[in-house]
Every structure is written in structure tokens, then in C-alpha cells.
Amino acid sequence: MTPLVSRTAELERLDEVLDRTLGGDGGPAVVDLAGAAGIGKSRLMAEFCRRAQVRGMTVLRGRATEYEQHIPYQPFSEALADHYGDLTDPGAAGGGRGDRFGLYRSVAKSLELIAGPGFGHGLVVALDDLHWGDPASLELLGHLVRHPPHAPVVIVVARRDRQTAASFAAVLTQGIDLGTVLRLDLGPLAERACVEVLAPGLAPDLPPGRAAELYAASDGNPLYFLALLQAGQAGEFRGHGSPPRSAGLGSLLLDELTPLTATQRRTAEAVAVLGDQGTAALLAVVTGRDEAALHADLGALAGRDLLHPGPGGRWTLRHPVLRTLVHENTAPRSRVRMHRLAAAGLADAGAPAAARAHHVERSLTGWDPEAVAVLAEAAERSAATAPASSAHWLEVALRHLPDTPPYAALRRDLMLRRARALGVCGGLRESRDLLHEVIAMSPPGEAGAPGVRASAVALCAVMERHLGRYAEAVTLLRRELSRTPGPPPADALELGLELGSSAPHATPYPQVRADVARTLDLARSLGDEVAEASALAIAALGETYEGEMLPARTATDRATALVDALTDHDLAGLCEPLARLGWAEAFLEHYADAERHADRGLAVARRGGRLYVLPHLLLCKAHVHIQTLRLDSAVELADEAETIARGIGSDELLAFVLANKAYALAYALPPDDRTALEVAEEAVAAAGTGTDWWASIAWCLLGQAALHAGDPQRARTALLRGGGDDQNALQPSMRPLMLEGLVISAVATGDADSAGTWAERARKEAEQLGLSSQRASALRSTAHCLLGDGDTAAAAELFEEAAALAARGGAVLWEAFSLLVGAPVTAAAGHPDRARAMWERARGLAVTGGARLLTGLADAIRPAVSGAPGAGEEPAAVPLSLSPREREIAALVAEGLTSSAIAARLYLSPRTVETHLGRIYRKAGVTSRAALAALHARSEMHDGTTGTAGIT
């Protein structure tokens, strides 16, 4: 192996990564070695692996290759060959999970297992040449960047920066921001290292002056420098007075092939064709020679350092650059013939379709039914786990399919399959455009085309939905349904169900109610219980969203009765309706039913590959876990939904996912953690300038996150942006909860009139809804206003009533929240025992549910509710490290002054007062003026008995 020189600084960083990983101190999960071809990335990676092995770590190696960029998971499959099943087979790995995102989590768990004590002491996974990585591998690595294994695992990747896909480079850059990626950019070697170390060791007879000339010609690139050294040793540059810059690296490497015999040259070309599949047996098939003669040539090529033996008896060319040059300089007809023989040899050996498809693609020169059958099989087997590869192989098949009437049906089928694959791997626009072609190829009324046309129209509407083009989706569906003659009943039913799914995003549900009713009647007339359940689920969510509780409960009960009577086989096409039913039940506060149906939908969607539905099902379950205070699992579910949404490529869907993730994080993280706010900001950015439901949700949850971060003015601005000045853009069935955020922000900024207006509206709407958590929210809103008016006793009663209401409805989050906000108020109202009981129950619920925000709040207000200190306890002062100005403002808040009044008293602007209040809230771990006032009052009480400085 070539000596490693001039990389001292990089090795120190890599040693630090290994030591921190094994020491449990955290650090990057991915090391990114980036640089030009031949700069020494692979050599540095090899040294990193050696040092990991010295430390007792398990080391697994894999690499991507230039001509196999559509073989799914190639580098991971190579690295995990002894530990994992076939990554391209949805049934062979990951516990039978049929979706690629389930596979990603399964791979992460396998890495954690291998890193454990059963295998060794930590794990390094080395993946070389990732600039050639297949899309599935790059997406899997992106998942591991965002969700590193919970074990001593380091993944080191080497890649050429300029040849790396932009999306993958963006993921690595995001990982740097997250702290999960360490990037090392490798530059040229120092002249001294090449001239004084490499040259004397490899070419001892070369004069130092000549070595310096060769270094100048190489620009410090070690591969180029070594090639020049080898050429110099062969005498090719001796006697020349000028540096051989004009020779070029390619020419130098190709010159190494000049002395070869014809059979040796053919063997080298066969190795270039086969890549990492170059076993002696397969080389014999490709070259048409017996293995004995072949072994002689392999030995000769190895002796010239052109070939290297590898694991499993596989031969590879010395460097990827050399492989490229040999492959591209092989005669085209000979290259095609060798790829064809390779495909046949792999088929005889029982190789999977994906491995054969690569060679079939490179050997196709015209229509070949058997070859296209291999491509179609590879596409089918990879559709769930590697849809980008599936779409590629289908495109190759379509490119060679004759465009004649006998093949029209097959062409439409392959186009539909390709559109589905594109739709789940980020190619939404390409999928939509392809579906428009299918629709144009399938005239209404054509024999054999109606089902295809309806499926294409419905799928096209789904793509338009994911692109945020709801009006276009609805127009497409309505036009198809209104044709004369109309579509057959079965097709009309499929189109009607998709209309019911698309239209509520473009128009209020009441304008779609009649369409959903017609679809429901059609399903019943056809005796199609699955479609009937689908239509009822659409109606259930639509009515629930609008706050029409009676029809919502009726539709929900009927849909539930049908769904629960159907088998999993019946439910294969019911994934999205299950998500809608689950969300309807969650909004109706039927949490157990919502989770049950979400779980069933997840199982069905994963088996059937309906990936675009998974985020909705996962978030439905996450929402239930938030309400019932199971926050760790809620964050995990939101993380999984985020991975899928990013893979699908829909900004609208990503905005929805990130907004809900921010909702979970706001309560799962400590009071001083701003991650939830950052995630909510990304959600708003993903939503763009739209004003639809997705954007409204994103803005409202940004407002909630800002409120928790202690910025009431920003919270108010965001909430008004999401719901409009009249808040009519907010979801009616959850409007009281959103209005509570406006009430708190208005109270915090001294706008008592607005607070009262919002609280009264919340009260009226909550009474109409009759939902426990919404009524509890409205009670808290009124309580905040009463506190602003100085009526502590009445406010305390309302907080306790809100907690009891939330508890009856099963909303544990809002029970704990109500108790914590109310406990210091109850104490201030003269009921210390009740306050202590409220605090103890709330903190217990928060700890059990992983609500670190509420736990932090509980600890901050403990002195205000705990009464006199017990034995061994510190005096009940609150060490909040407030500045003198902040203490002054906190005292005035306790007196009941508004922000405007405080500003006038202290000769400040109201905005400055609000800024101070935001800082005070963060330091105090409270979210309202009421809690701050109670905290200050308790601290003042301690001042009188201990002489301490109150809030300090």
C-alpha cells in the first residue's frame, strides 16, 4: 500500500472522532472526505479504518461504482453482506417491511446491533466513491445523517465534491449544521511529502530535481504523481528537459496497457465491464476462456499492479479512474457483447434481477422482449425499496419498446408504473407530466382503456395535490366526471373518491358536501363497502374539520363500523381513508380509536407501498400521543414522517410534517431549547406564500412555538398570519386552542381589549363544539383575562375546572398544562394545599410523559406553590438571574400593569418592554403574565421572612 503522507491534521481530527465515539462523548456520526479524483480520499479512509480496528472496532466496507449507479443500495449491500439480507428485496430484510423508510430504520438498528458488545467495540462503516452512489443509498445515508444510530457508530464516506448530486451535498451540509457530519476537504499534497518521502521510497534512482518537476506537473495530486513516477521509472520521460504536463493522467494510465498481450488486454476490459462482480468464473464466461488460462493473465495483470484481488475472489482494477479509462476505450461492439454475456452468466448463477438489469441496459441495442422482461422484473422488485431505480429501468424499457399499436397496452402499463415510482421518490412533476401522456393515449370510451384512464386521472390528481395545485387537481377530476358519456360506474367511483380527497384543500368542505354524498350513494348502489367506507371517512373528516359535530359523529360511527368489519385484504386500497378516519377521531377526541385505525392504516400502507399516505397516518398517531402525553414516541413518529416527506419531495406535505413535529418538540424539549421554533420556521418556509390549510397550520404552530420561546409579539403576528385578522382561516374544530395563543400573547403585551375579545369568541365556539380539550382551552383563556383584571380567585377556579375537563376527555397534556399554569395562581389565591397537589400531579404527568417543557416549568414555579421550605430545603427564593431592569418590569407585571403602562412608567417603548418580558419568560420558565405574577408574589413573600432578594 502506498505510504500515507502529509495528512497529519486530518488524522488528528479522525483520531478525535474515534476517541469521542468510543468514549460516549458524542460527536459526528458521519465523516465526509471530499476532494478531487486521485487526491487520496481512499487512502485516508483505509488508514481511518486501520486505526478503528486497532481500537477494537468492527469495520465494514462498501463502495459505489461508476457504471452501476442504478443498482439499489450497492455500497450498503457490500458493507452489510454478512449481517443483512437482500436490501433490494422488500420481504427479505427489515422484518418484512415493504417500504424503504422501514428498511432505513431496520438498517439503523442493525448498525446499532453490530456496534454492540456481541460483535466488537463500536463500528465503522466505510463507503467509498459515494459521488457514484445510487439514489436509494444516498437517501438511506441522508436518513442516517438526520437520525444517527444510538450506538458507537461512525460512517465515513469518500466522494468527489464536484460530481456529488446536489441533493446529497445539501444533506451533508445540513448534517454539518446539525453536528452529525464532520467534513474534511482534502487538498493537494505538500511538495516536501512527495519529493522527499514518496519519490525516494518508490523511485529511489530518480534525482530530487526531477521529482520536483514531476510534482509540479502533478499539481500535488498523489495519483497523478505516482503515475508520473511509474512512467519515469519505465524510462518514458528520461532525457526530457521539461515537466510532462501535457501527458495527462489519462494518457499515463492508458500507457500502462500498451505492453499487454491481446488476451491480457481483453481480461482487463472484462474486469472493467464487470466492476465488483469480477469473479474468475464470470470472467471466464465474459471472455470465453477457460479459467486456467485466465488465471495466468490475472496473475500477470496483478504483477503489473493493474488488478487487485478482493473479497470473494473478485478482481478489480487498481483505481476507479483506471476502470473508467479501460471501459471507455473498449471497442463498443466488444463492450456490448461482454455486457450481454455478463447478464447471461449472472442469470445462470441465479443473480437477482437488479444485478442483471445493469448489464441488460448496457447491452440493449434494440427491442428485445426477454431483456425488457428483466428490466420490468427489476423495476417491480425495487419499486417499494428503491423507486428511483425502478423508474430508471422502466424508462430504459420504454425507450426500447416499439411505438406501434400492438404494444400500446404494454406502453401504458409501463408508463403508469413509472409514474407511480416517480411519485414516491421526489419526481412529482415528471410523474404528473407522464400521466398526462397516459391520459392522452387513452381516449374516453376506448376498449380496454377506461380503467387505465381513470387510474391515470386519479393518480395525476394525487400528484397535483402533492405539488400544492389543488385547484388543478379538482378541475381535472370534475372535467373527467362531467364527460358525455360519463365514465363507467366503477371509474366514476374512483374519480369521485379522489375528488372528495382533493377538493376540501381547494374549497371549504360545505362546497364539496354534495359531491361526497353522490359518491357515497354510488358506492352503496354498487355494493362496494370499501368505497362506502372511503366516502364516509372523507365526510367524517370534512364535517369534523368544519366543527359540525353531529354529522361528523354520524359519519365517523358509520365509517368505523364498516372499516372494523373489513379484512386487511379488503383494506388494501383504503390507506388514505383510514388516515382521514383516524384524524377525524383524533379531532373528536376519540384517541384510542384514532390510534387503532392509524396503526391499521400503517400496516396496510407499508405492505401495499402507499408511501404518500404514511406521513398522514404517522402524524395522526403522533397527534394522539401528544394529546395523551407520550412525547418521546410522538417525536419518533414525526421524525419518521419527516424522512418520508423529504423522500417524496412535496413542499406542502413537508410543511405539514414539520409543523406537527414542532408541536411535539415544543413540549418534549426543555424551556430554553429553541429547536421547536427552528423546525416551525422551516415549516413556514416550506409552506411558502400560500394561504391554504397547510400554510395556516404551519403559521399557527410557529406562533405556538414562539409563545413557548418567550416571544409573545412574534407569536401574535404568526397566529394572525395563519388565521387571518378574523381567525376564520383556522380549523373550526380546533379554533379555541389557537385563540388561546392569541389571548396569552395579547395579555403578555398588555392588549387587554383584544384578549377579552378572543377569549369570548373561544368560549362561544368551544361550547358549540362540546369537545373537552377545546372547552378547557377556552376556560384558560378566560382565566388569563381575569388575572389581567386582578381576579385571582376566579382565575384559579377556572384553571382547576379546565384541568378536570381535559382529564375527563383523556387529553393528559392539557390536564398537566392547566394544573401547572393554575397552581401558582391557586397558591396566590390562598389555597396552598390545593396548589401543592396540583403541582405534584402535573409534574408527575410531565415526567412520565416526557414533557420536559412542563417539567422545567414545574421546577421553576415550585417555590411559588410549595409553601414554607421543609427540612433541608433552600428558602423559597427564585434564582432567575434577572437584570435590575428585568426585576423592575417583573414587579410591575405583578402589580397588574399592562406593557403600555409599564413603558410609560419607565420611559421605555412598549416594544422594549415586550422584549424584556420575552427574556424574563425564558429565564423564569413561564409562558404567561399570570404565572410570572404568581412567581413574583411568592418570591416577595419569602423576602419578608428570609431577607433574600426575591426574583434574582
Give the model confidence (pLDDT) of 543-559 as tens digits.
Answer: 999 999 999 999 999 99
Residue-by-residue DSSP string for 519-567: HHHHHHHTT-HHHHHHHHHHHHHHHHHTT-HHHHHHHHHHHHHHHHHS-
Coil, helix or strand at residue 315? strand
- 304-318, 527-541, 653-667: which has the minimum mean pLDDT? 304-318
H helices present in 709-734, as ranges: 712-723
**Which H or E run contains 836?**
helix 832-849
pLDDT tens readout for residues 550-587 = 999 999 999 999 999 988 788 876 778 889 999 999 99
- Give the pLDDT confidence score for residue 784 in this predicted structure: 93
pLDDT at site 885: 77
Alpha-carbon gap, residue 823 to 838, rounded angstroms: 6
Are 859 and 925 in contact by the 8 Å Cβ rule? The answer is yes
The counts of H helices and E strands in the chain are 46, 7
Query: Are the CB atoms for 554 and 576 separated by under 8 Å?
Result: no
Confidence of residue 450 (pLDDT cuts 50, 70, 90): low
Range name among 361-370, 463-472, 849-858, 924-933 with the lowest pLDDT average: 924-933
Model confidence pLDDT, tens digit, residues 3-45: 677 788 899 999 999 998 988 777 789 999 999 988 989 999 9
Interval 52-85: pLDDT, tens:
999 999 999 999 999 999 999 999 999 998 887 6
In whole angstroms, what is the distance from residue 276 CA to residue 310 CA? 9
Query: Residue 726, exposed/middle/buried by CB under 10 A (0-12, 13-18, 19+)?
Result: exposed
Q: What pTM did the predictor assign? A: 0.75
Q: Do residues 641 and 615 touch, judged by C-beta distance below 8 A? A: yes
Angle at 479 between CA 474 and CA 482, to 5 degrees: 125
pLDDT value for 949? 31
CB 737 within 8 A of CB 745: no
DSSP state, residue 195? I
Kindly state the cell numbers that stand for 137.
Answer: 443509498
CA distance 2 to 567: 63
Q: What CA–CA distance (Å, rounded) separates 599 from 946? A: 56
Among 911, 909, 930, residue whose Cα is nearest residue 713: 911
Set of cell numbers at residue 300? 500477470
The pLDDT of 438-457, averaged and rounded, is: 82
Asked if residue 931 has pLDDT above 70, the reply is no
Looking at residue 92, its pLDDT comes to 42
Q: What is the mean pLDDT of residues 325-350?
A: 93
- Residue 310 Cα distances to 291, 305, 829, angstroms: 17, 13, 78
At 123, phi and psi to the nearest 5? -140, 135
Single out the residue of 73, 79, 70 nearest to residue 155, CA to CA: 79
Mean pLDDT across 284-297: 90
pLDDT band at residue 243, thresholds of 50, 70 and 90? Answer: very low
